[in-house]
């Protein structure tokens, strides 16, 4: 599950699977949810709720589709899908470009990103990044975050070599010596390395260095301003069920994995089960309910993007997200 490129995994949404305003039978509303990537552990609560019939019980005929070439942001912003999975680093620039999307729930309250290197590399913390080679997509956010982490560890960012590697098998690239470290989600690619490939790796979790880089919401759930205005009842019903699904993933991770494997039998069972256990304690933080977003987190990340030259201005942060449609 790579960080920045969204592949054209489907060529179009089926005409009958768009938006949230199509009838799908008496008392039932049809709604499309566009994923941000292929199905993975971040989507556990959604697939569990779908397989257990909870969306149907709420009168929602939910269609889950993989992303089109334009990504979930464009598809949701134009009204071709009611909901989507996105990331804060896509939502803020999209809104700056006039795409009217709003984050309505965060799937993870704390960013699970990490830098990964082979265990034998000697890269155990930011100070070890000096003179190492980073493999990624070449995006400016990657460069800024790697540089700031290096600076926090007292390493010279200028000594780090950046190579663009695109959508590759990161572990194979590390083992082949093409690069020394990469940016991953610890609860997916990190677990793939340790639980499936049985490779010894070292991780530098972003969450351990929030004194020098911001936390941000990745992934999260989006809808459009039009949906919030025109069909708030559907948004609330969708989030009621989705919250129930993630609470189920928190309390019963392996049952949740069973449900998702029925929906996505091609998924790697070993990886999905390990990731279900890993995420059970991470879908919620502290006393806040699942999905709740903190204003200061958005403010800090928007400010970071401006300081890094990735946004011209922070804009109206209060318009970027809302907690108002989550169950009380």
Q: Do residues 145 and 178 both lie within one domain? A: yes
Q: Do residues 64 and 199 both lie within one domain? A: no
Question: Could you tell me the CA-to-CA distances from 160 to 114, 150, 153, 202 in Å, in that order?
Answer: 17, 9, 13, 18
- Give the domain CATH number at 151: 3.40.190.10
Q: Do residues 271 and 225 both lie within one domain? A: yes
* 5 falls within a domain: no
Q: What is the value of pTM for the model shown?
A: 0.92
* 127 falls within a domain: yes
Whether the pLDDT of residue 2 is over 60: the answer is no
* Last residue in a domain, options 177, 209, 241: 209
* 1 falls within a domain: no
pLDDT of residue 26: 60
Q: Do residues 185 and 245 both lie within one domain? A: no
* 6 falls within a domain: no
Q: Do residues 203 and 223 both lie within one domain? A: no
Domain with 175, as residue range(s), is 113-209
Q: Do residues 152 and 293 both lie within one domain? A: no
Q: Do residues 70 and 127 both lie within one domain? A: no
* 327 falls within a domain: no
The per-residue pLDDT for range 219-256, each reduced to its tens digit, is 999 999 999 999 999 999 999 999 999 999 999 999 99
Average pLDDT over residues 269-295: 97
Q: How many domains does the chain have?
A: 2
Q: Do residues 154 and 289 both lie within one domain? A: no
* Last residue in a domain, options 175, 191, 209: 209
CA nearest to 167, candidates 325, 9, 314: 9
The per-residue pLDDT for range 12-22, each reduced to its tens digit, is 333 333 445 45
* 302 falls within a domain: yes
* 172 falls within a domain: yes
* 4 falls within a domain: no
Average pLDDT over residues 259-272: 97
Average pLDDT over residues 74-91: 97
CA nearest to 202, candidates 112, 149, 123: 123
Q: Do residues 91 and 222 both lie within one domain? A: yes
pLDDT of residue 25: 57
* Last residue in a domain, options 186, 209, 232: 209
Q: Do residues 254 and 292 both lie within one domain? A: yes
The per-residue pLDDT for range 24-72, each reduced to its tens digit, is 556 899 999 999 999 999 999 999 999 999 999 999 999 999 987 778 9
Q: Do residues 312 and 180 both lie within one domain? A: no
Q: Report the share of the chain in percent with pLDDT over 70.
A: 92
pLDDT of residue 10: 28
Q: Do residues 234 and 314 both lie within one domain? A: yes
């Amino acid at each position: 599950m790579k960080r920045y490129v969204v592949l054209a995994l489907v060529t179009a949404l089926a005409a009958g699977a768009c938006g949230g305003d199509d009838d799908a039978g008496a008392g039932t509303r049809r709604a499309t949810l566009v994923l941000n990537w292929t199905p993975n552990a971040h989507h556990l609560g959604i697939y569990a709720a779908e397989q257990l019939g909870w969306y149907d019980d709420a009168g929602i005929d939910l269609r889950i589709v993989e992303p089109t070439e334009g990504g979930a942001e464009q598809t949701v912003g134009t009204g071709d899908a009611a909901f989507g999975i996105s990331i804060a680093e896509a939502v803020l620039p999209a809104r700056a470009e006039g795409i009217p999307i709003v984050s309505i729930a965060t799937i993870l309250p704390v960013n699970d990103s990490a830098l990964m290197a082979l265990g034998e590399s000697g890269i155990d913390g930011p100070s070890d990044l000096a003179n190492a080679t980073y493999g990624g997509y070449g995006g400016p956010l990657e460069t800024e975050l790697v540089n700031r982490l290096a600076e926090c560890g007292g390493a010279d960012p200028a000594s780090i070599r950046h190579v663009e590697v695109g959508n590759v098998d990161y572990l194979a690239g590390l083992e082949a010596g093409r690069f020394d470290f990469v940016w991953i989600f610890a609860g997916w690619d990190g677990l793939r390395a340790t639980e499936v490939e049985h490779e010894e790796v070292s991780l530098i979790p972003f969450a351990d260095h929030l004194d020098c880089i911001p936390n941000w919401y990745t992934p999260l759930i989006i809808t459009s301003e039009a949906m919030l205005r025109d069909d708030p009842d559907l948004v609330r019903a969708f989030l009621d069920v989705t919250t129930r699904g993630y609470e189920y993933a928190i309390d019963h991770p392996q049952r949740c994995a069973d449900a998702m494997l029925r929906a996505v039998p091609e998924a790697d069972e070993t990886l999905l089960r390990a990731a279900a256990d890993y995420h059970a304690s991470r879908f919620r933080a502290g006393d806040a309910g699942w999905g709740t977003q903190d204003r200061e987190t958005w403010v800090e990340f928007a400010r970071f993007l401006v300081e890094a030259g990735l946004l011209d201005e922070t804009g109206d942060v209060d318009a970027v997200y809302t907690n108002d449609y989550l169950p009380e």
